[in-house]
Structure 1
Amino acid sequence: MTDAEYVNIWMRPERPAYGPKPAYSRAQITEAAIRIADAEGLESATMRRIAAEIGAGAMSLYRYVPSRDNLIELMADQVMGEIDVTGMPSGDWRADLTRYAEGQRAMWLRHPWIATVQRSLPSFGPSQLLLVERLMGVLDAFVPIDENLGLVALLNGHVEGTVREEISSAEAFRRSGLSEPEWMARSYPYVDRLVKSGEYPIFAKIVMEARQPHLSREEQFRNGLERVLDCIATALPSTAGSPMPAHREGQDGPGTGS
């Protein structure tokens, strides 16, 4: 398809101005595609498979969704709509960004195929645009727009990087037929030899002293998120103050603010 032929899916009318009412809707097709992708992987969400799911002819679906790229755009926008940003900005930027980050992680874990979708060229669907407005609205009053973009990218980088690794690890364990503790037990003799060799002191320190690798995935995510939010806090004026989470106050000790 050439640039001249391309029309953004959001510019295409859902139904023609004249003629009979369509038998299906984009929403039905998109929801069926998401169900299939969740259960069987994105590659299984073909027009033929979706048509069978909703009881339609495969070729007839192209009247509603012209291409597979369009379908993936619709699917990605639909699942982004699951991230709850109602009431944002609330006035507490840290609580807002925490809620968004946790919502995004939960959405990715529900729909792991989203990790394989190329999102570098956004299509600006309605759910994505709502996220842009609400999420960037959280910091809009405190920093210029370019700084806002950078800080949101920092937050998204943590969420997406962490969850991609979580999803890929779960898939690797599934393929291996081992649980994570079983895989660690199988790896122990080699790791023990590396530690005892004395050739890798930092690696040995990680194995012997680090607490983070022994935390749950959720705890690792939250710890990293708190540090990202601390970094964001340094870029904001003091007037944007947001209360330090209680567990961080406990770690710092009484009377030791940031």
Structure 2
Amino acid sequence: MSSPSPPVIWIRLSAPLRARERPLDYEIITRTAIAIADLDGLDAVSMRKIANRIESGTMSLYRHIRGKDDLIELMYDSVLGELELAERPSRDWRTELADLARRSRRLHHHHPWISQIGQRPAMGPNAVRMMEYAMACVDGLGLTADRMLDLVSTALHFTQGFVQAELAEAEAQRRTGLDEDAWRDWMAPYLSRLLNEDQHPYLERIITEADNHPQQDTVFERRLEMVLDGLAASLPGRRS
């Protein structure tokens, strides 16, 4: 009786290939799934749709992909391969982490469905490459591996959260047909009534300063700098 195959696709892919398994099959399936997700979202991806696009039988795909969990692993790792990373980072950890955060933000905007995946560990080749690079960015600070991971994860988790808010705003505009300015005009009577109650001083400041709201790129850079300042202050014997 043969033993069951490993549940993690990277373990299966690292094993010797049988004659009927060709690496190109995974590449074609993955590229097709990404194209569907980029156009219609992650929920639109299905084995049937992929099979139709590549003119294959749905069941034949299951010789390579067990299901959507496998597919998401392949898709996520594939898009991580689009990150342009230097062969080795400089010794300026703040500059390197900031650059990695910016690149991650651009990648999330290019493939919005990434934000739906969450932060479960991924051990595909491109995920390992990215993590090795990120950890190298903060090497030399005299930190343990856990503390190094704290710095990297804090910067990247902030970026993911920021992008999720950006994408949520874009989805709200698509759903309602109102951009941010139109939404403010629509809400103006209600907000005025709230302000007349004289119980919301901070809301009043937010509303009265709304015309001076900077672009999202500016907000991202300002908040990223705050995150990096906090990380710098947490380093032993350092305040900058």
Please list, as runs of the form range in 1=range in 2, the aligned pairs for 1:38-77 lying within 5 A after superposition. Answer: 38-77=38-77
In structure 1, distance between residues paired with 2:23 and 2:124: 23
2:101, 2:156 within 8 Å by CA — same for their partners in 1?
A: yes
Match for residue 227 of structure 2?
A: 228
Match for residue 27 of structure 1?
A: 27
Q: Which moved more, 1:185-194 or 1:168-177?
A: 185-194
The one-letter amino acid of 1:75's match is M
Match for residue 138 of structure 2?
A: 139
The one-letter amino acid of 1:38's match is D
Match for residue 189 of structure 1?
A: 189
Does residue 1:176 correspond to 2:176, yes or no? Answer: yes
* 2:75 partner SS: helix
Superimposed CA distance per residue, residues 5-27 of structure 1 (whole angstroms, 9 cap, x where no aligned partner): 64310111379745356495211
- Normalised by the length of structure 1, the TM-score is 0.83
Match for residue 156 of structure 2?
A: 156
* C-alpha deviation, 1:33, in angstroms: 0.3
The one-letter amino acid of 2:123's match is F
Superimposed CA distance per residue, residues 185-239 of structure 1 (whole angstroms, 9 cap, x where no aligned partner): 111221122123211112212222478x711111111111011111122233678
> Aligned pair count?
236
Match for residue 215 of structure 1?
A: 214
1:84, 1:100 within 8 Å by CA — same for their partners in 2?
A: no
Contiguous gaps of at least 5 residues in structure 2: none
Q: Which moved more, 1:30-39 or 1:75-84?
A: 75-84
1:8, 1:123 within 8 Å by CA — same for their partners in 2?
A: no
* C-alpha deviation, 1:117, in angstroms: 1.2
Match for residue 117 of structure 2?
A: 117
Please list, as runs of the form range in 1=range in 2, the aligned pairs for 1:7-22 lying within 5 A after superposition. Answer: 7-13=7-13, 17-20=17-20, 22=22
The change in CA–CA distance for 1:71 and 1:224 in structure 2 (over 3 A counts) is same
Q: Which moved more, 1:156-165 or 1:194-203?
A: 194-203
In structure 2, distance between residues paired with 1:194 and 1:218: 30
The one-letter amino acid of 2:148's match is N
* 2:182 partner SS: helix
The change in CA–CA distance for 1:21 and 1:230 in structure 2 (over 3 A counts) is closer
Does residue 1:165 correspond to 2:174, yes or no? Answer: no
The one-letter amino acid of 2:231's match is I
Match for residue 129 of structure 2?
A: 130
Please list, as runs of the form range in 1=range in 2, the aligned pairs for 1:92-103 lying within 5 A after superposition. Answer: 92-103=92-103
2:5, 2:12 within 8 Å by CA — same for their partners in 1?
A: no
- Alignment RMSD: 2.4
Tell me the percent identity.
37
Match for residue 254 of structure 1?
A: none
In structure 2, distance between residues paired with 1:78 and 1:53: 19
In structure 1, distance between residues paired with 2:187 and 2:99: 36
Contiguous gaps of at least 5 residues in structure 1: 242-257
Superimposed CA distance per residue, residues 120-167 of structure 1 (whole angstroms, 9 cap, x where no aligned partner): 3x1311111111110011112102222112222221221011100111
1:85, 1:135 within 8 Å by CA — same for their partners in 2?
A: no
Q: Which moved more, 1:155-164 or 1:189-198?
A: 189-198
In structure 1, distance between residues paired with 2:46 and 2:94: 41
The one-letter amino acid of 1:205's match is R
- Normalised by the length of structure 2, the TM-score is 0.89
* 1:12 partner SS: helix
